[in-house]
C-alpha cells in the first residue's frame, strides 16, 4: 500500500478520515483559501469534479490560512462560502497548516515527493515568487508549499505523479487529470 494512504485528516466537521478511504481513485489534493487571488480556481476545480467523479476522481480540499491570512474563517464559514459562491461538492477538510513545525504531515510528504520547481516565467509569477519567499521565510526548510491552490495529482496506486503551482493554467491541470484517468 502506498504511503499516501497512511495519512489521516479531519474533515470540516471534525471527523477523522483515513486517506485509505480514497484508495483506487485518482486524487487532486489542494490547499485553498477563500480570500486569495487564485480563489476563482474553485470554478474549474468543481467543473472537473463534476465531469470526472464518476470515473473514480476525487478532489480533497484543505483550507489553509498561512498565506497572508487569506482563509481566516471557521470551517463552516469557509464551507458556506465555497458552496454558495462556487457550488463546490468535493470533500472539504478542516483548516490546516501546510508549512512549519505544525504542517500537516500529508503536505510535508506531498512536497517532499514533488518539490517546488518555481512559479514559471513572467512578471506576475516573479512578483508572486518574491511575495511567497517573504511570506515563507519564517518556515525555513519547512516551507513546503509556496502559496494557496498548490495541487498534487495522485494516481490510483497512491503515487504522487505531479505538482501544479497556482500559476499553472487550470486547463493544463484538467488535461493531466483526464490523461491519468484514461491510463488507469
Q: Say how far apart CA 183 and CA 177 lie, in whole Å.
A: 10
What's the chain's Rg over C-alpha atoms? 15
Q: Say how far apart CA 31 and CA 27 lie, in whole Å.
A: 13
51: its cell numbers: 465531469
Residue with cell 471527523: 15
- Catalytic residue, candidates 36, 82, 143, 177: 36
70: its cell numbers: 487569506
Query: In 152-164, which positions are buried (b, 16+ CB within 10 angstroms) versus exposed (e)?
Result: bbbbbebebebbb
Bridge partner residues of 63 (DSSP): 32
Bridge partner residues of 30 (DSSP): 61, 151
For residue 153, the SS3 value is strand
Can 36 be counted among the known catalytic residues? yes
64 close to 98: Cβ distance less than 8 angstroms: yes
Active site positions, annotated: 36
Amino acid at each position: 500500500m502506498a504511503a499516501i494512504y497512511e495519512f489521516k485528516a479531519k474533515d470540516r466537521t471534525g471527523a477523522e478520515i483515513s486517506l485509505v478511504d480514497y484508495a483506487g481513485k485518482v486524487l487532486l489534493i489542494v490547499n485553498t483559501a477563500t480570500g486569495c487571488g487564485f480563489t476563482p480556481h474553485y470554478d474549474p476545480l468543481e467543473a472537473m469534479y463534476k465531469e470526472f467523479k464518476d470515473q473514480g476522481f476525487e478532489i480533497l480540499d484543505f483550507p489553509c490560512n498561512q498565506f497572508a491570512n487569506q482563509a481566516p474563517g471557521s470551517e463552516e464559514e469557509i464551507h458556506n462560502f465555497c458552496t454558495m459562491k462556487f457550488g463546490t461538492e468535493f470533500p472539504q477538510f478542516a483548516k490546516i497548516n501546510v508549512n512549519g513545525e505544525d504542517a500537516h504531515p500529508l503536505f510535508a510528504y506531498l512536497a517532499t515527493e514533488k518539490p517546488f520547481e518555481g512559479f514559471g516565467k513572467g512578471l506576475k509569477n516573479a512578483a508572486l515568487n518574491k511575495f511567497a519567499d517573504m511570506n515563507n521565510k519564517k518556515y525555513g526548510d519547512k516551507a513546503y508549499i509556496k502559496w494557496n491552490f498548490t495541487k498534487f495529482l495522485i494516481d490510483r496506486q497512491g503515487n504522487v505523479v505531479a505538482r501544479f503551482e497556482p500559476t499553472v493554467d487550470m486547463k493544463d491541470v484538467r488535461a493531466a487529470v483526464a490523461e491519468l484517468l484514461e491510463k488507469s
